Chain A
Amino acid sequence: MSEVIKKEEMLIFVISEMLKGMRHVAVGASSPIPGGAALLARANSSTDFRVSMLGSEEHNTFTNGGTELFDCAAQGRIDAFFLGGGQIDGSANINLVGIGDYPDTKVRFPGSFGSAYLYYLVPRVILFREEHTPRALVPKVDFISAPGTSPDNVNRPGGPYALVTERCVFRFDKKKARFRLESIHPGHSLEEIIEMTGFEFDEPSTIRETKPPSSDTLKLIRGKIADEISETYPAFSSKIFGS
């Protein structure tokens, strides 16, 4: 087996580490890497660990149609979820709608999906945006699909926990409504991250390197996880794992 770790394998591992101890992780639309991470965390868990993956028939036990995920989240039955965004800003506001003056956006994204709800209700929302550039990570989003924080009188048990990109991991500080750099993936530098991030963030005094997966974990990702994720994401699976 090649020990050269692909970016996608690294990201699956990084996100799965944030899911330790969760009881129920849900995965939304167009999320092969978070989906892989949830399945990996389940495979490594010694306690009950449920994954509910949108679009999957094998990894989804909902029987009440499209509303059940949302009802479940509102009752506190989902511990972790993933959101992305065409733009994400330094206050963790996310934009899944478009760039420019809404509704006359000059670049249109698919839409907000359930973000304007799940971001408020799921305790650990992991933001995932593979592209780490100033156009993706901006000072201020053009459209707020869902805000990073809310006033105290808003019922909001949930919110952003971390932001994972192809270059690093940021953790979100709810009180300051700001990101703090947590670790840098192997092969990347602080200088590069500052240059490629459109928003300001806090830096720790010593900067950690993101831990890569062990060879056993890599084997698991390339075997069982690749196989499980291919049901919902065949194109991703065949591109990354060649299965």
Chain B
Amino acid sequence: MTKHFEKVETLVSNIPDSSKIALAPDYSGCPMEAIRALIKRGATGLHIIGVPSVGFQGDMLIGAGCVETIETAAVTIGEHGLAPRFTSAIKNGTINIIDGTCPAIHAGLQAAQKGIPFMPVRGILGSDLSKHRHDWIEASNPFSENEEPLIFVKAITPDITLIHVPLADSDGNVWVGVRREMMVMAHASKKTLVTYDKLFDGNLLSEESMAPGTIPSLYVDGLALAENGAWPVGLFGNYPPDENHLKIYLDMAKTEEGFKEYINEYVFEPKAAE
């Protein structure tokens, strides 16, 4: 049964330190309120997986020292340039990086979703990425008459998928609309924890127009209401990024001291989202 939590803090208490957590990119469902709660708790040793990339939430978790390993196709804050705390952490060697490419991350999760050990993926051959990936192997297409090399990507099974969505219902179903990478993430993960902006009045699965974009409660372990919970990154179809605040973040996060000031002001003593 899906558990409803009163507070986002209690929801994230279900994420043990050192968990392997799947996260969505900035244009999808970013659980920023939950990220702030993880930072506030002082989570450590996390292995975060960008599906297929991460933005501000990854940068913040890294800056706050919560991350040991990041597995991703990119860390990107879009138009704003380089992600400051990620860039600094790589330079100082304080995190491990597992560099991937978008379709290989999707394919690894799809393998886990299907309960199979690996998935073949096009491309990648001859790239330096594969030299550093022991969970990718070069094999041959068994159906080809001629020798045809192909990359096999090992299944990726996150401990937890942590996402923010526009709507959830009291039965524990959550609506992701066309952002179906979150559905694959939930299917592939051992557990899925969700924050949501608004409670849907009724059952999402009994509405024909909503059901196709809904992750059924079967995959959802815990839920908590977080109005405006994707702030300042924004939520697809609902509210845009708070560009002014993102600029404040980027300005402060240029240095470690500045980042500490930022989290003191907006995470530990939040005046946020007023």
Interface residues of B in 20-36 (CB under 8 A from A): 25, 27-28
Q: Does B126 contact A (CB under 8 A)?
A: yes
Contact of B102 among A55, A70, A106, A154 (CB under 8 A): A70
Contact of B182 among A65, A74, A108 (CB under 8 A): A65
Q: Does A172 contact B (CB under 8 A)?
A: no
In the complex, A29 Cα to B55 Cα: how many Å? 12
Contact across chains for B243 and A63 when beta carbons are under 8 A apart: no
Contact across chains for A117 and B125 when beta carbons are under 8 A apart: no
Contact of B127 among A54, A65, A147, A236 (CB under 8 A): A147
Task: Given A103-B97, A154-B125, check contact A57 B237 (CB 8 Å).
Answer: yes
Identify which of A138-146, A176-184, A214-222 touches chain B: A138-146
B127 to chain A minimum Cβ distance, whole angstroms, is: 5
Contact across chains for A112 and B101 when beta carbons are under 8 A apart: yes
Identify which of B75-83, B162-170, B195-203 touches chain A: B75-83
Question: Could you tell me how many residues of chain A have their Cβ less than 8 Å away from some Cβ of chain B?
Answer: 50
Contact across chains for A112 and B79 when beta carbons are under 8 A apart: no
Task: Given A108-B87, A117-B124, check contact A65 B180 (CB 8 Å).
Answer: yes
Task: Given A57-B236, A70-B103, check contact A110 B74 (CB 8 Å).
Answer: yes
A112 to chain B minimum Cβ distance, whole angstroms, is: 5
Task: Given A57-B236, A62-B178, A235-B79, check contact A117 B104 (CB 8 Å).
Answer: yes
Contact with B along A63-77 (1 / 0, CB 8 A): 111110010001000
Contact of B100 among A66, A74, A112 (CB under 8 A): A112
Identify which of A38-46, A118-126, A201-209 touches chain B: A118-126
Chain A residues near B237 (CB-CB < 8 A): 57
Interface residues, chain B, CB within 8 Å of chain A?
25, 27-28, 51-53, 72-76, 78-80, 82-83, 86-87, 90-91, 93, 96-97, 99-104, 106, 110, 121-129, 132, 146-150, 178-184, 236-237, 243
Sample of 18 A–B contacts (CB below 8 Å): A30-B78, A66-B28, A66-B51, A66-B102, A66-B106, A102-B132, A103-B99, A108-B86, A108-B91, A109-B82, A112-B74, A113-B73, A114-B102, A120-B122, A147-B127, A151-B126, A153-B149, A233-B79
Interface residues, chain A, CB within 8 Å of chain B?
29-30, 32, 54-55, 57, 62-67, 70, 74, 96-98, 102-106, 108-121, 143-147, 150-151, 153-155, 233-236
